[in-house]
Structure 1
Amino acid sequence: MSTEYPNDEFRILSASPTEEGLLVLLEARMADPSAVLDLFEGAPKSRVPSSEVLHADEGTVLVQFQLPFVPPPYRALFASGNLPQFPYTIEDGWIVCDLSTSHERLSRFRDELEETGFSLEVVRINQSIDPADLLTDRQRRFATEAIERGYYDTPRQCSLTELADELGVSKSTASVVLHNAEETIVKEFFAESIE
């Protein structure tokens, strides 16, 4: 349907395996949403045993339906050790999605898909870890203070002693906390290139 209506938007909001197959929630935003309603009304029970329209108006249809099987792309996702990350957009016959995973699991997903006759195109890979999440609250507070006071500027605007005084700790404590924060940040930054 997405190839027949390339200007319309189709999104899989959720899909959950059941004993009977796969339960799917589909949202279609279309100029003529009756096309989706007609598709489900005319679908053979062997392909779509049940469907329910949860919402329909002049531009949007929300349909929950049951498939009697788990489609190969979804099986490949699980077989590769990945979890679905909704929503999925369907554009011109392609499922477009984000996937938070490792390089190894992404490769396994590609292999699993290819075994079923499907293909995978990786458009972009992003490092999605927020570096601030790598630090403890204390490390983040010390590093933030060091940046704000110019400790990392060239030339330095603040000495380690001045920074320690401002933080209310000894010079050696400030040094250890900052060193641990710097170690974590540097190792994370270079993790992919030194594996």
Structure 2
Amino acid sequence: MFALPVSFPAHLVSTTDRFRMPHTKLIVTIPEETWIHGVSTAHPDIEFTVVATLAGETTGIALLECTASNGSEVLVDIERREDVTDLDLLWTHDDELLLQVETEAPVLLTPVWRTGVLPQTPFVVRDGEVTWELTTTSGRLSRLGDRLADAEIRFDIEYVRTFGTDFASHLLTDRQRQLVLAAFERGYYATPRTATLTEVAESVGISKATASDTLHRAEGRIIDWFIGEHVTNHSGADRPLD
């Protein structure tokens, strides 16, 4: 974890392209005075999946799911927290619970609410930590770091990546993009497949051999991008476009 005060390193969030936006993954240490810190650390094996949140100046509402064999104990534990003003059990089946929790002084949500940053939902809380993925402007991301530091909320930056319309438009050539879309629309990638490679090729007026080669190159670019985004730091941008 970063020692406080901390902000996002400038070289990670700055960009000269107004169409590119940082995509960030944060591991945030939840303040000890909040109900969710107390409950999640008291039940460290339970994942609380936050489906939706709504925050204001003095109150916060969270819709969350969890699977717990000791569900009644978890409910009692939540109700006992001083900052919880309302608790509703919306649905339950076997060990699964769907809860709506209203709290006062939403310390964790206030920084993101005030900076206009929306964590992607659902997100997971476990054992006193929350994992957030954010896509926003570099300015808002920097302000969020400042707000978290001001609130003495510790966080770890797992990664900061950038993407934008410029990258998406250059991932594939026009010919590759046209062929991939034609193949998708005709069901070439469906299960079961509803179009043959020959039919896809004929639909755009090229030979089967050309279609096979073009799709192979396009699929390689897409897979390289996926691996770079979700598996390693490798970037598919190094693969030749044609």
TM-score of the alignment, normalized to the shorter chain, above 0.5: yes
Match of 1:48 in 2: 84
Shift of 1:53: 0.2
**Percent of matched pairs sharing the same residue:** 23
Shift of 1:123: 0.6
Match of 1:34 in 2: 72
For residue 76 of structure 1, the aligned residue among 103, 111, 116 is 111
Aligned residues: 145
CA distance in 2, matches of 1:5, 1:41: 15
SS in 2 for 1:23: strand
Aligned positions of 1:7-156 closer than 5 A: 7-17=45-55, 21-44=59-82, 47-69=83-105, 71-129=106-164, 133-134=168-169, 141-144=174-177
CA distance in 2, matches of 1:27, 1:94: 16
TM-score by length of 1: 0.61
Label 1:146 to 1:95 Cα distance change in 2 as closer, same or farther (>3 A).
closer
SS in 1 for 2:130: strand
SS in 2 for 1:34: helix
Shift of 1:20: 6.2
SS in 2 for 1:72: coil
Match of 1:155 in 2: none
Shift of 1:23: 1.7
CA contact 1:72–1:113 (8 Å) conserved in 2: no
Q: Which amino acid aligns with 2:109?
A: Y
SS in 1 for 2:42: coil
CA distance in 1, matches of 2:79, 2:57: 23
Q: Which structure 2 segments of 5+ residues have no match?
A: 1-38, 181-204, 207-236, 238-242
Shift of 1:144: 4.3
SS in 2 for 1:96: strand
CA distance in 1, matches of 2:56, 2:137: 27
Greater C-alpha Rg: 1
Q: Residue deviations 1:138-183, cap 9 Å, x none?
A: x964354799xxxxxxxxxxxxxxxxxx79xxxxxxxxxxxxxxxx
SS in 2 for 1:6: coil
CA distance in 2, matches of 1:4, 1:49: 20
Q: Higher relative contact order by CA 8 Å / sep ≥ 6: 1 or 2? A: 2
SS in 1 for 2:113: helix
CA contact 1:28–1:36 (8 Å) conserved in 2: no
SS in 1 for 2:141: helix
CA distance in 2, matches of 1:19, 1:78: 9
Q: Which has the higher strand share?
A: 2
CA distance in 1, matches of 2:117, 2:133: 12
CA distance in 2, matches of 1:146, 1:16: 43
Q: Which structure 1 segments of 5+ residues have no match?
A: 148-165, 168-188, 190-195
SS in 2 for 1:122: strand
